[in-house]
Chains A and B, each alone.
Chain A
Amino acid sequence: MSLPSAHLFIQTLILGILVGGVYALMASGLTLIFGVMKVINVAHGAFLILGAYLTYLLFQWFKLDPIISIAITMPLFFLFGWLLQKYVFSRIESPEQTSVLVTFALALILEGLLGAIFQTTARSVTPSYSTATIILATYRIPVTRLAGFVTALVVLLILYYVLERTRLGRAVRATIQDPRAAQLVGVKISMVSAFTFALGVSTAAAGGSLLSMIYTFNPASQGDWVAKTLAIIVLGGMGSLPGALIASLILGVMEQLTAIIVTLYWSPIVFYVFLFLTLIVRPQGLMGEVIREKG
């Protein structure tokens, strides 16, 4: 263990923020779905990995750039999410108690299928710029990380626009704030739920595409991503999008710093430590309501 120099510290800070942006995109769908439906979608990690494999296939077959493939994977996942909500999740009684188990079942089904098709080999998508770095005022910035960060921001901005400016988006926000009042003023909850779930799952497609070029992945790695994204939304305040963004940046930076100061192997512990600290000190997270709700 050694303290990094100022240069290394700033370098790490930059990498942490870049990673944090991607985490924010990955966690956005999870927190959105919880906000509207009170469903903790444990299958979110499996959706991310599914998105990563889809991007991998598109790259292998058509040499399609992982960022461009988002334009294909996102609509597909939107449809997938809509159907899942319509035919599976809408049937669940008392989602707060059973949603974790139902979504865990979904995650297992996907992990098993992906494992049968792709085996456990670690894969990644390697576009021509995958090893390139930009040097900016003596700081090295990997192109994939920068591209991932920018793409994540663009997708998050689109998400923000949809939620702020469209009728359906306003209905979603109203439902997060007060489902009963939203219903009274004519919001159709079933419609909003389907839309939110589809939107949340489609962000996993984009997140998965970015994941595929920044990290290596195999079917079993879905578990690690669930743990990370869950820690983010608990720290940010479950159901809060701005909270998820701030938490992602904090955890991204802390993770990179741990990797430098301690070792890479210990860096995931940051997520769990923050998760526990949040629950002890401030159960409602950075932003958001108290999560001591009775499930």
Chain B
Amino acid sequence: MLKFFRSTPGLVAILFVVGLISPWVMPNQYYQHIIVMTLMAAVMASSWNIIGGYAGYTSLGHAAFFGLGGYLVAWTNTHYGWHPFISVWFLSLIVVAVALVMGWIALRTQGSAFVVVTIAIVFIFRLLALNLGSITNGANGMTQPRPGWGGAQWSPELFKIPFLYFFLVLLCLTIFASWWIRNSKFGLGLIAIREDEGKAESVGIDTMMYKVLAFGISAYFVAVAGGIYSYLFTYIEPGFVFDVFVSVTMVLMAILGGRGTLWGPVLGAFIMQPLSIWVVGAFGGSSIHLTVFGGILLLVMLFMPQGILPAVSESLNRRKQVQSPAQEAK
């Protein structure tokens, strides 16, 4: 029994149950807001991890997929009344198609050049959103009807709970997808690409195919998150979503927890997101929260670039070695 709770399905089950009870234990709207945003951040960081962690390609372009998901939901909701909780699942497939094309171009480059190209992707989408005013309403952004179901709006006190549950389910799905990829031949191929792309290619891995596919999959969950995010706030604006900063938050969370590990990005999000909500609240409308965020990013990059989970497991391994010197180090 104990063994089950230490396996991935067990941990996801614990996460799911805790998430289910949380709004009834904490009826405070502000705490519920933090939980919703944290679950969303964990989805995004875990999803980013598929290309950024497993394959080692630092994409700063994922804000584009977040925003695109948001705009597609906003547009179909206002024009056709499609309910985002349902439509977002297939609308995000459109985003995946876009991501596959973008990835096909961007993934010809490696290292820092790849990062530059993905930054450009975000800027292109921002420019499109700003200038295609007849569709996106330009810099004024798009508004959506207040969230509800079947013509009835959700009451203000219970308003956050459907979103909390949505993101909880989404996070569980994302973790399972990431877990499945990690244990599959596909995931092994991605890790081989991260370790040595030339060698991976020489043993017969279609590296381009693998990378583009990973890029597309990692765009999916980010797009779903973006769609529901725009529904939650009933408002979306180019400068808010098509911002490299949004991508960097995913990267920081993944790196902080442990890039390339299954649970690292979730842990990173659970630490960073409540912290940044608190910082934004504490400094009001001032932009100083950017400085705090940048400072944390700098410190993590300088002093803990491998992340929390790898650092912890390394020190645990070391302790084990001291206790049983006969056991050979991995």
Contacts and interface: CB of A to CB of B under 8 A. Distances in A.
B116 interface: yes
Interface string B9-45: 0000000000000000000000000000000000000
Interface stretch (B151-159, B260-268, B289-297, B319-327): B289-297
Contacts of B289: 112
A295 B305 CA distance: 16
Nearest to A230: B116
Contacts of B243: 223
B124 A96 contact: no
A110 B294 CA distance: 9
Contact of B110 (A114, A116, A295): A295
Interface residues of A, number: 55
B210 to A, nearest CB: 16
B127 A102 contact: no
Contact of A101 (B105, B127, B297): B297
Contacts of B115: 40, 100
Interface stretch (A71-79, A126-134, A159-167, A274-282): A274-282
A111 B113 contact: no
Given A38-B112, A115-B287, A276 B120 contact: yes
Contact of A116 (B120, B244, B288, B297): B288
Nearest to B301: A102
Interface in A90-114: 91-93, 96-102, 104-114
B167 interface: no
B120 A108 contact: no
Residue among A34, A266, A276, A280 facing the most chain B CB atoms (10 A cut-off)? A276
A38 to B, nearest CB: 7
A219 B301 contact: no
A272 interface: yes
A134 B302 CA distance: 51
Interface of A: 34, 38-40, 42, 88, 91-93, 96-102, 104-116, 120, 219, 223-224, 226-227, 230-231, 234, 238, 265-266, 268-269, 271-272, 275-276, 279-280, 283, 291-295
Interface of B: 58, 60, 105-106, 108-117, 119-120, 123-124, 127, 130-131, 197-198, 243-245, 248, 251-252, 255, 286-295, 297-298, 301-302, 305
15 contacts: A34-B112, A38-B112, A100-B58, A100-B115, A101-B252, A104-B60, A105-B295, A109-B290, A112-B291, A112-B292, A271-B120, A275-B116, A291-B109, A294-B110, A294-B198
